[in-house]
């Protein structure tokens, strides 16, 4: 028994990502065609060259035919996966294992979500399993809102300080997103605007919540030894870790909402797979699941970027800014890139694809790319009951 | 003090239960416990005239929460009544209301489930008319099995109507039975009943409001009917009016009630406050509610007469026993009246369905599944979790596999409805669906272990803080396709 990972066995050799946003004139089919066409072009191959597909979508279709029909795939296996908001990274994880197993030479991971056809703001429509009516009906915003006062109480951060810390995270992600042509919100926002926005849940205001967008992203994966047949600058898979929590946080009085055990565990596993011993020093950039600003704050500590209880100071010091010591969400994150559930995990890999291969636009290029490792963290669920993915890719073998 | 309750002229004679007629066996019957439930919110009647220029009056009326119906009100009263006598199980449950949550389907079964009564306990509705509440009580006093009589009402009327302002929402639960079931705190010593068909007040099924004839006509009917029943009851009890310590007079016709009081020959000081200034007239529940207030403040050996006017008159005369001081209400009606908080008139009109406001822009919830609910009845209705025998880890909702250790199917029932808890964290959700947004939600840690994120109710969000103490309360979360979705919420402990 053991989690060994597949370090350096699989490479990403092509990626595509649509603009994220309110695509009133595009359906899931259009978005899938767009992202996969770009990914195939990026790898220099045609759809018939792909041996198997993994499609991640949480609520935009059932079965692999959600992909095979619009792409008109002939006699190809397509696996539809769903794992809450970590659906996109789960598609990539499974495609990578299929290639590593030797079952297929070329696999594609695709994520898509069409969320703006429901008539409602926010995420609705997922999960229509018949119930006894006792299930919680709270929004994700309300659940994550509980983390901020809990963290503040534990580490002696006043409400005003916490407000500034959360706003600083939002400000950073908007700053980065403003420099990303694919982002949903391409505007810098002042701290005053963030702090004065309407309340949504608990102390969380509009700018503490990620954007809800339509979008799609895709990746082509091959065995590492084949990578240079497709590109001169492949990204090698260093680690893929996943933890599905047992939802005990909301049943266990010892859980204090100041950390996410599932993320901590997935991080440790990923670092072991990749041989990372000093995340802050070794990782060039991280894309983390900033669905709500308190999530990003706690993730810094769960992933070991900083000591527990210190992340809030590091935020204010600019550690995670684009030009900081460890840039986090250089593409704008869920906050300003938007969050098409099934696509977000792959969108996060797409930023490593751009940054570690020197393709990111100059005005949002990280200065730490020479470290060579990009981390993707993608979660689904709520504090106390979540699934968590941590993946690491690098631009060199070894 | 006992009397043959099967003598001619009593409700029991009609029932024909118990020993065959002709036996001389005296059965000591009476009240084992009683409780009222007054919901948290109050409408200040002056707000009605301030809004419409007419209607209203002085004082307040009790208002059921948007998440309460007559069934949930009844559950709360019944829980209090049974909590006072934990060793006296009810073997029959009767529920009476004018405003049932369901027709065709029995509502008492929901109360039965929430109280976690045994399967062999009968649960049935005594519904429809205001009189059904006091009739259920009077009838139960003639049965030989411990019977929990639950009465509840939510009184509606059009804005500015007399029913809107004079009505109130509340429930009462009276556990009656033979002395063999437990110490009787009061025994029935006399009764009188009269009936006459006349049109004073009526409501077409499905309508939210009742209509009334000119009230002077009803007065001419009710006063003689009341006097006749009164005289019969006093004769039955072998008492004169001046021997009564407390007299309760209530009814669906306020003017007739006042006129009758003047004719009973009772010192006004002995007439029990009818709660019209604080709670309002609570329909089928009101006789039980007022009887409860009288019992909660009575001394042993006192006589209490209960007079109820509704399509005739019902008079019950009771005498408290030496067991009364040994019975303590977990929460008196007076305490609950004291703890009330004002509800703005606009909210009241919205909660009653008289004014529609813009709903939250979220999808409405789906109908609950009967079969899923059938599997989780103990959790959903009884709030029973499970406790891992090996680790003592508490699971809410109940689980088969323990979150601590490797135990599978090694769980004991953990009834949590009466376990208080403490707020570990809370949040206000302004975007989630609720019949009355915003939702206030808390992580509740229960005394002795166990945690549940659960919705709060009867709460003023700006007064809430971590560490506040809460108790569980049975509520209606929403209804979809006519199916009521009942579950538990937490509310601040008051009194």
Q: List the CATH number of the domain containing A100.
A: 3.40.47.10
Q: Which pLDDT does position B10 carry in this prediction?
A: 52
**ipTM score over 0.95, yes or no:** no
Position B410 in a domain? no
A291 and A155 share one domain: yes
Position A107 in a domain? yes
Is B97 buried (19+), middle (13-18) or exposed (0-12) by CB count in 10 A? buried
Q: Which pLDDT does position B399 carry in this prediction?
A: 95
Position A136 in a domain? no
Average pLDDT on A292-319 reads 98
B309 and B257 share one domain: yes
Chain A: nearest CA to B63, how far in angstroms?
A: 25
Position B404 in a domain? no
Contacts of B72 (CB under 8 A, 6+ apart): B473, B474, B475, B476, B486
Q: B356 and A116 in contact (C-beta within 8 Å)?
A: no
Average pLDDT on B463-476 reads 95
Chain B: nearest CA to A278, how far in angstroms?
A: 32
A146 and A20 share one domain: no
pLDDT above 50 (res B457): yes
Q: Which of A356, A353, A352, A379 is nearest to A369 (CA)?
A: A356
A52 and A152 share one domain: no
Average pLDDT on A108-129 reads 82
A233 touches chain B (CB under 8 A): no
Q: Which pLDDT does position B11 carry in this prediction?
A: 52
Average pLDDT on B112-117 reads 98
In the sheet that holds B92-96, the strands lie side by side as: B122-125, B92-96, B147-153, B170-178, B29-37, B186-195, B312-320, B303-309, B246-251
- Contact list in A for residue B439 (CB cut-off 8 A) is 137-138, 142
SS3 of A395, please?
Answer: coil
Contacts of B358 (CB under 8 A, 6+ apart): none
Other Cβ atoms within 10 Å of A361 Cβ, number:
10
pLDDT above 90 (res B166): yes
Q: Which of B430, B449, B462, B484 has the most A C-beta neighbours within 10 Å, making it the best mutation to test the interface with A?
A: B430
Q: A235 versus B206: which is more confidently predicted?
A: A235
- Least confident window among A128-132, A219-223, A383-387: A128-132
Q: Which pLDDT does position B176 carry in this prediction?
A: 97
Query: Domain range for residue B449?
Result: 370-382+417-492
Other Cβ atoms within 10 Å of B493 Cβ, number:
13
- Contact list in A for residue B437 (CB cut-off 8 A) is none
Q: Is A23 a catalytic residue?
A: no
Q: Which pLDDT does position B27 carry in this prediction?
A: 65
pLDDT above 70 (res B257): yes
B338 and B442 share one domain: no
B316 and B443 share one domain: no
Average pLDDT, chain B: 93
Position A130 in a domain? no
Contacts of B159 (CB under 8 A, 6+ apart): B48, B51, B52, B55, B349, B354
B426 and B337 share one domain: no
Residue contact A133–B395, C-beta within 8 A: no
Residue contact B466–A130, C-beta within 8 A: no
B324 and B248 share one domain: yes
B377 and B295 share one domain: no
B102 touches chain A (CB under 8 A): no
Report the DSSP pairing between strands A373-382 and B411-415: unpaired
Q: A345 and A325 in contact (C-beta within 8 Å)?
A: no
Q: Helices in A283-340 by DSSP H: which ranges?
A: 293-302, 311-317, 333-337
B400 touches chain A (CB under 8 A): no
Residues in chain B: 495
pLDDT above 90 (res B208): no
Distance CA(B128)–CA(B96), nearest Å, equals 8
Average pLDDT on A348-361 reads 97
A56 and A101 share one domain: yes
A108 and A151 share one domain: no
Residue contact A132–B451, C-beta within 8 A: no
Q: Is A264 a catalytic residue?
A: no
Other Cβ atoms within 10 Å of B93 Cβ, number:
25
Quickly state the pLDDT bin for A334 (edges 50, 70, 90). Answer: very high
Q: Which of B363, B379, B429 has the most A C-beta neighbours within 10 Å, making it the best mutation to test the interface with A?
A: B429
Which of B362, B369, B394 comes nearest A131 by C-beta? B369
A320 and A346 share one domain: yes
- Least confident window among A130-144, A299-313, B88-102: A130-144
Quickly state the pLDDT bin for B1 (edges 50, 70, 90). Answer: very low
Distance CA(A127)–CA(A381), nearest Å, equals 12
Distance CA(A10)–CA(A54), nearest Å, equals 15
B346 and B450 share one domain: no
Distance CA(B298)–CA(B186), nearest Å, equals 10
Which of A132, A202, A253 comes nearest B368 by C-beta? A132
Q: Which pLDDT does position B26 carry in this prediction?
A: 62
Query: Domain range for residue A112?
Result: 10-118+214-232
Q: Give me the residues paired with residue B317 across strands.
A: B190, B305
Q: Which of A234, A215, A218 is nearest to A353 (CA)?
A: A234
Which of A201, A251, A384 comes nearest B431 by C-beta? A201
A117 touches chain B (CB under 8 A): no
Q: Which pLDDT does position A127 carry in this prediction?
A: 61
Position A228 in a domain? yes
Q: pLDDT of B320-329, one tens digit each? A: 999 999 999 9
A202 and A317 share one domain: yes
Position B106 in a domain? yes
pLDDT above 90 (res B75): yes
**Residue of A17, A23, A85, A174 marked catalytic:** A85
A201 and A288 share one domain: yes
A150 touches chain B (CB under 8 A): yes
Position B2 in a domain? no
Q: B363 and B338 in contact (C-beta within 8 Å)?
A: no
Which of B363, B454, B478 comes nearest A124 by C-beta? B363
Quickly state the pLDDT bin for A1 (edges 50, 70, 90). Answer: confident
B395 touches chain A (CB under 8 A): yes
Q: Which of B449, B450, B436, B447 is nearest to B470 (CA)?
A: B447
Q: Which of A121, A123, A133 has the most B C-beta neighbours within 10 Å, making it the best mutation to test the interface with B?
A: A133
Question: In degrees rounded to 5, what are phi and psi of residue B442?
Answer: -140, 150
> How many separate domains does chain A show?
2
pLDDT above 90 (res A121): no
Residue contact B432–A139, C-beta within 8 A: yes
Provide the whole-model pTM: 0.92
A278 and A290 share one domain: yes
B130 and B43 share one domain: yes
Quickly count helices (H) and strands (E) in chain A: 13, 11
Average pLDDT on B425-446 reads 90
Position B3 in a domain? no
Distance CA(B319)–CA(B301), nearest Å, equals 6
Distance CA(B358)–CA(B356), nearest Å, equals 7
B293 and B178 share one domain: yes
> Is the torsion defined by CA of A362, A367, A370, A374 positive or negative?
negative
Position B394 in a domain? no
Position A4 in a domain? no
B450 touches chain A (CB under 8 A): yes
Q: pLDDT of B317-354, one tens digit each? A: 999 999 999 999 999 999 999 999 999 999 999 999 99
pLDDT above 70 (res A323): yes
pLDDT above 70 (res A328): yes
B160 and B232 share one domain: yes
Residue contact A120–B466, C-beta within 8 A: no
CATH of the domain at B192: 3.40.47.10
B448 touches chain A (CB under 8 A): no
Position A99 in a domain? yes
pLDDT above 50 (res B366): yes
pLDDT above 60 (res B17): no
Report the DSSP pairing between strands A385-394 and B60-63: unpaired
Q: Which pLDDT does position B461 carry in this prediction?
A: 84
Position B392 in a domain? no
Distance CA(A346)–CA(A88), nearest Å, equals 5
Average pLDDT on B3-8 reads 44
Q: Which pLDDT does position B360 carry in this prediction?
A: 77
Q: Which pLDDT does position B20 carry in this prediction?
A: 37
Quickly count helices (H) and strands (E) in chain B: 13, 22
> How many separate domains does chain B show?
2
User: How far does Cα B416 stand from its chain's mean position?
Assistant: 21
B33 and B159 share one domain: yes
Q: Which pLDDT does position B6 carry in this prediction?
A: 40
Question: In degrees rounded to 5, what are phi and psi of residue A322?
Answer: -55, -40
A227 and A273 share one domain: no
B347 and B374 share one domain: no
pLDDT above 60 (res B24): no
Q: Which of B287, B249, B251, B250 is nearest to B270 (CA)?
A: B249
């Amino acid at each position: 028994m053991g989690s060994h990972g597949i370090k350096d066995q699989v490479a990403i050799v092509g990626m595509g990502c649509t603009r994220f946003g309110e695509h009133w004139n595009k359906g899931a089919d259009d978005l899938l065609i767009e992202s996969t066409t770009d990914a195939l072009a990026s790898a220099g191959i045609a759809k018939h060259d792909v041996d198997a597909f993994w499609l991640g979508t949480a609520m935009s279709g059932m079965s692999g035919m959600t992909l095979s029909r619009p792409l008109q795939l002939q006699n190809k296996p397509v696996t539809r996966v769903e794992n809450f908001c970590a659906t996109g990274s789960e598609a990539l994880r499974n495609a990578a294992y299929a290639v590593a197993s030797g079952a297929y030479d070329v696999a594609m991971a695709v994520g898509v979500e069409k969320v703006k056809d429901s008539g409602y703001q926010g995420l609705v429509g997922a999960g229509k399993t018949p119930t006894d009516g006792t299930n919680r009906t709270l929004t994700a915003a309300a659940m994550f809102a509980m983390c901020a006062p809990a963290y503040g109480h534990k580490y002696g951060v006043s409400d005003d300080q916490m407000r500034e810390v959360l706003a600083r995270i939002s400000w950073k992600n908007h700053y980065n997103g403003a420099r990303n042509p694919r982002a949903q919100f391409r505007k810098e926002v002042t701290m005053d605007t963030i702090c004065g926005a309407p309340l949504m849940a608990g102390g969380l205001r509009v700018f503490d919540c990620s954007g809800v967008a339509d979008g799609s992203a895709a990746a082509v994966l091959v065995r590492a030894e084949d990578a240079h047949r497709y590109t001169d600058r492949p990204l090698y898979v260093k680690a893929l870790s996943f933890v599905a929590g047992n939802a005990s946080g909301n049943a266990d009085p010892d859980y204090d909402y100041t950390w996410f055990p599932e993320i901590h565990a997935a991080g440790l596993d990923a670092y072991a797979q990749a041989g990372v011993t000093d995340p802050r020093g070794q990782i060039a950039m991280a894309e983390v699941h900033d669905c709500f600003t308190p999530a990003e704050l706690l993730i810094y500590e769960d992933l070991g970027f900083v000591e527990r209880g210190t992340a809030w100071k590091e935020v204010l010091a600019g550690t995670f800014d684009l030009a900081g010591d460890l840039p986090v969400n250089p593409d704008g994150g869920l906050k300003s890139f938007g969050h098409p559930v099934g696509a977000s995990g792959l969108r996060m890999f797409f930023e490593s694809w751009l940054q570690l291969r020197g393709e990111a636009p100059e005005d949002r290029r990280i200065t730490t790319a020479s470290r060579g490792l990009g981390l993707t963290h993608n979660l689904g669920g709520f504090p106390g009951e979540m699934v968590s993915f941590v993946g690491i890719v690098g631009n060199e073998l070894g | 003090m006992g009397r043959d309750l099967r003598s001619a002229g009593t409700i029991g004679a009609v029932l024909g239960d118990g020993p065959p007629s002709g036996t001389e066996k005296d059965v000591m019957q009476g009240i084992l416990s009683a409780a009222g439930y007054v919901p948290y919110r109050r409408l200040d009647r002056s707000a009605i005239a301030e809004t419409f220029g007419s209607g209203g009056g002085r004082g307040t009326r009790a208002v059921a929460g948007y998440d309460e119906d007559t069934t949930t009100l009844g559950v709360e009263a019944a829980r209090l009544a049974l909590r006072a006598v934990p060793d006296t199980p009810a073997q029959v449950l009767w529920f009476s209301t004018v405003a049932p949550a369901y027709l065709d389907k029995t509502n008492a079964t929901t109360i039965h489930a929430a109280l976690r009564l045994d399967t062999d306990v009968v649960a049935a509705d005594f519904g429809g008319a205001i009189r059904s509440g006091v009739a259920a009580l009077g009838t139960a006093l003639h049965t030989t099995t411990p019977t929990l009589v639950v009465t509840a009402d939510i009184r509606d009327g059009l804005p500015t109507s007399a029913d809107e302002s004079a009505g109130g929402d509340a429930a009462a639960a009276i556990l009656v039975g033979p002395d063999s079931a437990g110490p009787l705190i009061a025994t029935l010593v006399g009764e009188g009943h009269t009936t006459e068909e006349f049109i004073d007040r009526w409501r077409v099924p499905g309508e939210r409001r009742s209509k009334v004839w000119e009230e002077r006509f009803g007065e001419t009917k009710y006063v003689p009917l009341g006097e006749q029943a009164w005289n019969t009851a006093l004769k039955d009890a072998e008492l004169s009016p001046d021997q009564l310590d407390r007299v309760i007079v209530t009814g669906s016709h306020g003017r007739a009630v006042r006129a009758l009081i003047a004719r009973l020959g009772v010192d006004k000081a002995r007439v029990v406050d009818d709660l019209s200034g604080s709670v309002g007239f609570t329909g089928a529940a009101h006789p039980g509610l007022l009887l409860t207030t009288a019992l909660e403040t009575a001394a042993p050996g006192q006589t209490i007469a209960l007079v109820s006017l509704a399509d005739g008159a019902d008079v019950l005369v009771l005498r408290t026993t030496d067991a009364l001081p040994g019975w303590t209400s977990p929460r008196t009606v007076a305490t609950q009246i004291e703890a009330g908080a004002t509800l703005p008139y606009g909210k009241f009109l919205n909660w009653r369905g008289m004014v529609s406001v813009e709903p939250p822009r979220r999808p409405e919830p789906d109908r609950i599944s009967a079969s899923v609910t059938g599997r989780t009845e103990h959790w959903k209705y009884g709030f029973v979790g499970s406790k891992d025998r090996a680790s003592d880890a508490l699971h809410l909702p109940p689980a088969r596999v323990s979150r601590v250790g490797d135990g599978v199917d090694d769980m004991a029932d953990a009834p949590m409805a009466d376990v208080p808890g403490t707020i570990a964290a809370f949040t206000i959700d302004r975007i989630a669906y609720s019949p009355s947004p915003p939702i206030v939600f808390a992580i509740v840690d229960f005394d002795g272990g166990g945690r549940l994120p659960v919705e709060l109710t009867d709460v003023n969000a700006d007064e809430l803080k971590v560490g506040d103490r809460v108790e569980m309360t049975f509520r209606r979360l929403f209804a979809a396709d006519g199916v009521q979705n009942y579950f538990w919420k937490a509310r601040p402990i008051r009194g």
